[in-house]
């Protein structure tokens, strides 16, 4: 039955969010979902398959959230992307954390079998932002824009990792990811563009509280 399958996945999501990655065991999952363990194997697959499914759900939500990215120039575009992701993370923090932890675990255990794309899309966007900035004459050209894009994306990536490990909260994620990104751009920015970046960076230093009105958060 498809309903059973959905129920299993739903219970798995809840457990993962409430009790973390270690607590998600097939036996307890089966019990909570009102089925037996082999049924999980039949309807969902192995534990790795189960994790892949959960992660795929998160990835899809990320992709959907990032679909509506419009061109507003590098600064606002980066801010919008990071802000969108931060909002999405904050909305269901426990689950996103656990799912990303599971993703990390999968990457190591099953090599490249993991879904292609928690990073894929955001990586492309980051690179596009830098290349566009270069084409628009916002960069001086002393440095390879592709390298800038790579390092800028690194700043975003390490922020995700720190957030996922609990080292920083969602607000810290937004601040670190953006400041890393802006910093890399500023390294080769034309004076006017650099001034705009510096101004944004200074703004990031101020503690924010007007963040709440961005999203109702139900």
Partner DNA sequence: GATAAAATTTTAACTACGATAAATTTCAAT
Partner DNA sequence: ATTGAAATTTATCGTAGTTAAAATTTTATC
Instruction: Please provide the DSSP assignment of 183-218 as one string.
Output: HHHHTTB-HHHHHHHHHHHHHHHSPP-TTGGG----
Interacting residues with its own copies between 195 and 214 (CB under 8 A)? 197-198, 201-202, 205
Residue 203 buriedness (CB in 10 A; 0-12 / 13-18 / 19+)? exposed
Three-state SS at 209 = coil
122 part of the interface to its own copies, by CB under 8 A: no
Q: Are 184 and 145 in contact (CB under 8 A)?
A: no
Dist CA 155 CA 36 (whole Å)? 44
26 part of the interface to DNA, by CB under 7 A: yes
**Bridge partner list, 189:** 139
Taking the least distance from each CB to its own copies, the nearer of 137 and 141 is 141
State the minimum distance, in angstroms, from the CB of residue 154 to its own copies. 5
Taking the least distance from each CB to DNA, the nearer of 28 and 136 is 28
36 part of the interface to DNA, by CB under 7 A: yes
> Which residues, in sequence order, are CB contacts of 95 under 8 Å at separation 6+?
13, 16, 17, 58
Per CB under 7 A, the list member of 4, 80, 105, 140 interacting with DNA is 4
Interacting residues with its own copies between 52 and 81 (CB under 8 A)? none
43 part of the interface to DNA, by CB under 7 A: yes
Q: Are 145 and 128 in contact (CB under 8 A)?
A: no
Interacting residues with DNA between 46 and 65 (CB under 7 A)? 46-48
Binding residues for its own copies, rule: CB under 8 A, are: 22, 101, 107-109, 142-144, 147-148, 150-151, 154-155, 157-159, 161, 165, 176, 179-180, 182-184, 186-188, 197-198, 201-202, 205
Binding residues for DNA, rule: CB under 7 A, are: 1, 4, 24-28, 35-39, 41-43, 46-48
């Amino acid at each position: 039955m498809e309903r059973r399958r959905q129920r299993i996945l739903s219970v798995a999501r809840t457990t993962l969010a409430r009790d973390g990655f270690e607590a998600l065991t097939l036996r307890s999952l089966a019990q909570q979902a009102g089925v037996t363990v082999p049924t999980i194997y039949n309807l969902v697959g192995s534990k790795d398959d189960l994790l892949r499914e959960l992660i795929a759900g998160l990835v899809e939500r990320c992709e959907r959230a990032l679909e509506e990215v419009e061109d507003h120039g590098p600064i606002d575009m980066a801010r919008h992307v990071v802000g969108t992701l931060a909002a999405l993370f904050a909305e269901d923090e426990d689950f996103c954390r656990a799912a990303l932890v599971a993703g990390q675990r999968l990457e190591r255990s099953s090599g490249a079998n993991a879904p292609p794309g928690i990073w894929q899309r955001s990586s492309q966007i980051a690179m596009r932002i830098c290349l566009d900035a270069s084409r628009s004459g916002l960069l001086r050209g002393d440095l390879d824009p592709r390298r800038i894009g790579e390092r800028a994306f690194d700043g975003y990536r390490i922020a995700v990792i720190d957030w996922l490990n609990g080292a920083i909260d969602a607000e810290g994620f937004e601040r670190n990811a953006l400041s890393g990104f802006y910093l890399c751009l500023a390294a080769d920015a034309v004076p006017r563009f650099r001034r705009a970046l510096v101004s944004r960076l200074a703004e990031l230093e101020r503690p924010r509280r007007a963040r709440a009105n961005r999203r109702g958060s139900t």
